[in-house]
Structure 1
Amino acid sequence: MSFSNQIIWITGASSGIGKALAIELSNQNAKLILSSRKKEDLELVKQQCRHPEFVKIITLDLEEYSNLQPIADKAIAAFGKIDVLVNNGGVSQRSLAKDTAIVVDKRIMDINYLGTVALTKAILPHFIKNKKGHFVVTTSIVGKIGTPLRSSYAASKHALHGFFDSLRAEHFQDHIAVTLVCPGFVNTNVSKNALTGDGTPQQKLDVATENGIQPERFAKLMARAMKNKKEEVYIAGAKEKLGVYAKRFYPKLVSILIRKLSVT
């Protein structure tokens, strides 16, 4: 399996899943464009890549979604084209709905949903013109099953499924693929950076996150799903995967079980 000479743009590439995926794809000879808000962190990721000479860095802020078209044009110009856009950037949440300020709900939707959609729309004409392209989207198991302390996060991930399922159908004839990647718990800083009810980061690692899949292992499985152009894939522990299928066939049972999860 190789991504030789594929030009892949990854958002949220400065840490976690995005960082691990960049290193994995560089090992498979891809040419990369790495983006996040943190240029210094992106530079460190670049130096860890097997082929840093084939890595370009372009900073962006998904929350500033009305200003993404010039950034997309710059990304296309970096290597002359883009084959794959990995929409990986986003922010999580750890707060009860009743305790979450509406401005925090809006911020989560702006970053996770509108930022991702705006960047996708900025690249879409390029894919249509080339009659090929691949959108890869990091959603979540929570994008299939809403759980406590993640109401707005779950909403933003559910929204991504709706948008990209529709987009896939609309542009099938243009040979544009969509892969929705649903992580379970992955051992990254996602819970440390998760927003609380007042918008400040939680600044601590959840036990479940700490015990999650290692990002390097996750990246290998994600790369395989990308290579095979899977429409939707669950990269998670057995219980998390079981929950997705159980909700499909036994929604009431899953609802009862979810109520028992800790909300403190």
Structure 2
Amino acid sequence: MTFDDKVIWITGASSGIGKSLAIALSEYNCKLILSARRVIELEKVKVLCRRPDQVFALPLDLEDVHAMKTITATAISTFGTIDVLVNNGGISQRSPIIDTTIEVDKKLMDIDYLGTVALSKALLPHFVAQQSGHYVVVSSLMGKFSSPLRSAYCGAKHALHGFFDALRMEHDKDNIMVTMICPGFVNTNVARNALTADGSQQGYQDEMTENGLDVDLFVKKMIKAIRKGKYEAYIGKFEAFGVYVKRLSPRLLHWLVSRSKVR
């Protein structure tokens, strides 16, 4: 696919992958809608884009699922249409299952799963009416296999795959595409912002994330996968091979992850 003359809506656009993606896509002949909770940060990203006049900042809180229809109507009216929705917004988690309150599990599901689903469903009638559309969903390798201290995060990301695989099948007839982007370790603030057992932020970077892919390099690979219309793309370093190891032997993957430095 080409991005020329497309309207692309990116959630989680105030930092990390979303910010880097917005800046990279602004080099194409397309229009961008940037969403996140922090409108001040969105405006900072906007001025970094090549053509700020073709970028619109639209505040959005993924936990507020009942606001999605209104926000979607605003997004569509901004440039007259939406061609691509990049579901990138979300949070992570770092805590043992036995210590993690159920409120943390719920918050991860509310933001990472239900918020993304609610927004995507709000936009779906528009995609069906125009007989085209592309959902890009930033999941995780943790949506394909799990690792310690990420139980709520893994659960929410696994759920995204179940939902969007079904959406792809139901709406193939409407020329609606779904690309699941599965990052491994990417050097962003995702670990610092991750929730701990009581719902507070972790506040520090972990070694694996610090040594992960540079975010701009990750975004280049992500854009390539989107343009190719891939169903799924596993983007990382050695950790991406975990997807294939699990297919070969779940027991072997369990052994490898249990003995790794992933914590």
TM-score (norm 1): 0.97
Tell me, what secondary structure is at the counterpart of 1:27?
Answer: coil
**RMSD of aligned residue pairs (Cα, Å):** 1.1
Instruction: State the match for 1:260 in structure 2.
Output: 259
The residue type equivalent to 1:241 in the other structure is: A
Name the structure 2 match of 1:249.
248
Q: Partner letter of residue 10 of structure 2?
A: I
- The CA deviation string for residues 58-87 of structure 1, in whole angstroms up to 9 with x for no partner, is 001001112211001000000000000000
TM superposition shift of 1:30: 1.8
**Alpha-carbon shift at residue 161 of structure 1 (Å):** 0.3
Q: Partner letter of residue 165 of structure 1?
A: D
Q: TM-score, normalised by structure 2?
A: 0.98
Q: After the TM superposition, which parts of structure 1 deviate over 4 Å for at least 4 consecutive aligned residues?
A: none
Partners of 1:2 and 1:29 within 8 A in 2: no
Q: Could you tell me how far apart the structure 2 residues matched to 1:39 and 1:181 are?
A: 25
Q: Alpha-carbon deviations, 1:82-113, whole Å to 9, x = none?
A: 00000000000000111100011000000000
| CA–CA distance in structure 1, aligned partners of residues 261 and 3 of structure 2 | 42
Contact 2:5–2:29 (Cα < 8 Å) also in 1: yes
Q: Displacement of 1:256 after TM fit?
A: 1.6
Between stretches 23-32 and 169-178, larger displacement belongs to 23-32
AA aligned opposite 2:24: E
What runs of 5+ residues in structure 1 fail to find an aligned partner?
none
**One-letter amino acid of the counterpart of residue 173, structure 2:** Q
Task: Report how far residue 257 of structure 1 moved.
Answer: 1.8
Distance 1:130 1:170 in 2: 16
Once structures 1 and 2 are overlaid, which stretch shifts more, 217-226 or 189-198? 217-226
How far apart, in 2, do the equivalents of 1:2 and 1:45 lie?
Answer: 23
Indicate the residue corresponding to 1:14 in structure 2. 14
User: Which residue of structure 1 aligns with residue 154 of structure 2?
Assistant: 154
1:100–1:51 Cα change, 3 Å: same
- Using the TM superposition, give the Cα deviation of residue 219 of structure 1 relative to its aligned residue in structure 2, in angstroms: 1.0
**Preserved contact between residue 16 and residue 189 of structure 2 (Cα < 8 Å):** yes
Give deviations 1:193-218, integer Å, cap 9, x for gaps: 00000000000011111111111111
- In 2: Cα distance, 1:57 partner to 1:69 partner: 17
Query: CA shift at 1:249, angstroms?
Result: 0.8
